[in-house]
Structure 1
Amino acid sequence: MTEDTRWTPVTFENCHAIAGPFYHGTAAVLQPGDLLRPGFESNYQKGRISNHIYFTSVVASLAAQVAAALAGIEGRGHVYLVQPTGPFEDDPNVTNKRFPGNPTKSYRSRHALRIIREVEEWEEHSQDVIKRMLDGIAALRAQGRDLIED
């Protein structure tokens, strides 16, 4: 890696250096002040209880659209501006597993995220992109490889 692209892992110890803003994409309708907590069913695996809550430093439009599609909900889902209430770390499901470093700026926490507001204006991905994502998830699931490191 060059000096410009050197990646420093985000850990519970150094996460305070990541300023945000932070976003969460979901099918759920939420209000400012609501808390998103771990311990509830995953957007991506029915019946799986998530030990972490996931968020990103980029507008989570793809997460919102995929979560809505997986839930069978008409529409594009919701993107929220959120505030972590405790320490967080890089999401190991994408960091170095799927992409070198953390270019998606994806994080996870065992602490709640506070909803600040809904982000109304965001660019939707095409239905073709969403279909490819859903097909990819289905293929991994069929192979027993849709594992989430949680």
Structure 2
Amino acid sequence: MNPSPAAIAAELGLPVSRITDALLLKIAEDELFLHHLEMCRTDERLMSILLRETEATAASPQGQSTPELLRRASLAVVRWASSGFRKVSQAAYDRRLAACLACEHLVAPTENPVYRFTGARSVCNLCGCETRRKARLPAEACPIGRWGEER
């Protein structure tokens, strides 16, 4: 189970307002990042550098390069194949998609060729994934836990 933003803030001695979606995404994607934050919690200067770096790199994941989007999509396909090409139940899909559709991070796709090729209609601005496809795959998860599921 993932720690809550309040728990992370308390552990790091930060106000909860500093625990942004971008920071949570960075923690989820990089298993050492939370450790680095914990190691720097007593050094305000280093903590500031780590937080600033996270904010700068999280401006718009949709701006990821085509090779990065293809890499992420390929990994998702491998995970899907490993599951036997299963899909979540219709009820789970509906619940996941409803969470995405209500999320402030849902955006229209950019002109990236990957989005044009796949016919993406809605994209998560945090992870860059096409929401309608990702929500069907059992091995995938919302990058900030809005689906309410554990991987």
Instruction: Sort the TM-score into its range (normalised by shorter chain).
Output: under 0.3
Q: Which has the larger radius of gyration?
A: 2
TM-score (norm 2): 0.22
More strand by share: 1
More helix by share: 2
